């Protein structure tokens, strides 16, 4: 199978899983609102109808912290804690739903009901979590060996506070080009679990590495292509959020709709990667 056909078939499978993607989006929205509403209430309690809101509309001013006083520290602590909780919850949530998506993409025929999707997500959660944690350790070691250790040596030799130079830029590029390898191994391992029903994590990782070895260029190119498009989508989202933030009225609602559409596209890109990896392994 060619790279184009792999990506095309993966895109078709991802698009046909729109119900699952919308369910993930809805669950994520509920999670964000569960954290966001208390923070908003706390912010309104601190700011009220003061002139500070108008100052913030004109741009961030460090003097605002002095105007708010002691509650500013509590506000920042709440925001930090909320962000941390959202990150952890999001990690577990995406790991959970990955089980259902991979089960969907390994089905030879038939449709997947929402109940089957949730059942597969729950059934595969623990082995998928183990794979995610192991891959985080592998990527962490890869990052330390390729960037961290040379950076420490470079700073020790040059006496600079930040690693720099042509060698470091080459290592950064090698790190970026190496990431599709680890992502494919992780996805291929999860695909093996979904296809076989086995929950043996290390056997799944072994199957992932074997799949990479058997079809290296197709496997690598598949993940790299999706990552490039995903990076472009993320860049577009960040640019839109930075340049199109409205102040009030109907534009706020339209801005919310646009950002959610971008987020659904991000979920589709993730599902596309999963489906394309499953296609590449056939």
Tens-place pLDDT, residues 190-235: 999 999 999 999 999 999 999 999 999 999 999 999 999 999 888 8
Contact indicator for 92, 28 with CB cutoff of 8 Å: no
State which H helix or E strand residue 141 sits in. helix 114-143
Tokens of 131: 């794979």
Structural domain for 101, as ranges: 3-280
Question: What is the structure's pLDDT at 175?
Answer: 95
CB 63 within 8 A of CB 31: no
Top-confidence residue, 168 or 56: 168
- Where does 2-70 have alpha helices with state H? 3-16, 18-47, 52-57, 63-68
pLDDT at 60 over 60: no
- Let me know: does 266 contact 230? Beta carbons within 8 Å: yes
pLDDT tens, 155-194? Answer: 887 777 777 778 888 999 999 999 999 999 999 999 999 9
Closest-CA residue to 274 (of 126, 100, 117): 100
Mean pLDDT (whole number) for 146-156? 86
Q: Which of 221, 235, 145 is nearest to 183 (CA)?
A: 221
Question: What does the pLDDT look like over 135-146, one tens digit per residue?
Answer: 999 999 999 999
Mean pLDDT of the 238-260 span = 76
How far is it, in rounded angstroms, from Cα 98 to Cα 183? 13
54 band by pLDDT with thresholds 50, 70 and 90 = low
Residues 6+ positions from 96 with CB-CB distance below 8 Å: 121, 122, 125, 128
CA distance 155 to 162: 7
pLDDT at residue number 123:
94
Measured between alpha carbons, how far is 280 from 192 in angstroms, rounded to an integer?
Answer: 12
- Cβ atoms within 10 Å, residue 275: 29
As given in the structure block, the two tokens for residue 106 are 């390994």
Distance between CA 60 and CA 80 in Å, rounded? Answer: 18
CA distance 163 to 173: 14
Rg (Cα) of the chain, in Å, rounded? Answer: 22
Domain count, the chain: 1
Looking at the chain, the whole-number percentage of residues with pLDDT higher than 70 is 83
- Least confident interval from 123-132, 145-154, 263-272: 145-154
Degrees to nearest 5, angle at CA 190 with 186 and 195: 145
Cβ pair 102, 190 in contact under 8 A: yes
Give the predicted TM-score (pTM) of the model: 0.85
Task: Give the pLDDT confidence score for residue 95 in this predicted structure.
Answer: 95
Token pair 């029903």: residue: 197
Asked if pLDDT for residue 74 goes beyond 60, the answer is yes
Using DSSP's 3-state secondary structure scheme, residue 53 falls into: helix
Distances (CA, A) of 111 to 17, 19, 21, 71, 242: 9, 11, 14, 53, 40
- Residue 207 CA to residue 127 CA, distance in Å, equals 14
């Amino acid at each position: 199978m060619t790279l184009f056909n792999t990506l095309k078939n993966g895109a078709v499978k991802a698009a046909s899983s729109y119900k699952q993607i919308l369910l993930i989006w809805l669950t994520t929205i509920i999670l964000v609102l569960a954290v966001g509403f208390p923070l908003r209430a706390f912010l309104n309690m601190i700011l009220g109808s003061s002139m500070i809101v108008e100052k913030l509309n004109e741009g961030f001013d460090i003097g605002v912290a002095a105007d708010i006083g002691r509650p500013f520290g509590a506000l920042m602590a709440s925001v930090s804690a909320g962000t941390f909780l959202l990150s952890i919850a999001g990690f577990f949530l995406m790991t959970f739903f990955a089980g259902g998506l991979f089960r969907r993409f390994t089905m030879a025929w038939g449709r997947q009901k929402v109940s089957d999707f949730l059942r597969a997500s729950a059934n595969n959660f623990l082995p998928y979590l183990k794979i995610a944690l192991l891959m985080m350790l592998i990527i962490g070691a890869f990052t330390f060996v390729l960037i961290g250790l040379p950076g420490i040596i470079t700073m020790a030799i040059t006496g600079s506070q930040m690693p720099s130079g042509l060698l470091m830029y080459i290592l950064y590029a090698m790190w970026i080009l190496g990431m599709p390898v680890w992502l494919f191994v992780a996805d291929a391992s999860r695909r093996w679990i979904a296809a076989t029903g086995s929950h043996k994590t290390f056997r799944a990782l072994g199957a992932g590495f074997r799949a990479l070895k058997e079809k290296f260029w197709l496997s690598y190119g598949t993940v790299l292509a999706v990552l490039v498009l995903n990076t472009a989508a993320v860049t577009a989202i960040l640019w839109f959020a930075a340049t199109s933030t409205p102040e009030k009225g109907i534009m706020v609602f339209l801005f919310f709709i646009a950002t959610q559409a971008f987020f659904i596209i991000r979920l589709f890109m993730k599902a596309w990667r999963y489906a394309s990896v499953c296609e590449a392994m056939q």
